[in-house]
Amino acid sequence: VQLVESGGGSVQAGGSLRLSCVASGYTSCMGWFRQAPGKEREGVANIGSDGSTYYTDPVKGRFTISRDGAKNTLYLEMNSLKPEDTAMYYCAADSCFRMRASFPRIGTMASRYWGQGTQVTVSS
């Protein structure tokens, strides 16, 4: 499965961005991860084919994950952005069993399919 992200950019605090990720194939779960400089990659949100969603606590109420099954496309709507949201954002795909095993950490059951990443920068 190949994944291609788009939609990153630079915004001021309080602003919004929408990330997209197009997948070349189907997996039961798709998700977004992020990695800030000097920090480990961490899970942001994921969504199953049944519509179930997981969010990491810092983004709850601000970010919304969705997917269009017909288009094999994943979205992340990010509102009320904060400087601490600045990171490279990665799209990932795999089974929900693997993706949620250690969420939001990436454990030994890391997702097998990753995009190249898209940069999100939030200035204060």
**Chain segment 27-51, per-residue pLDDT in tens:** 999 999 999 999 999 999 999 999 9
Tens of pLDDT along 69-119? Answer: 999 999 999 999 999 999 999 999 999 999 999 999 988 888 999 999 999
Whole-number pLDDT of residue 109: 81
Whole-number pLDDT of residue 121: 98
Tens of pLDDT along 4-19? Answer: 999 999 999 999 999 9
Whole-number pLDDT of residue 110: 87
Token pair 């810092």 is at which residue? Answer: 58
The three-state secondary structure class of 48 is: strand
Handedness of CA 41, 93, 104, 59 (dihedral sign): positive
Dist CA 47 CA 66 (whole Å): 7
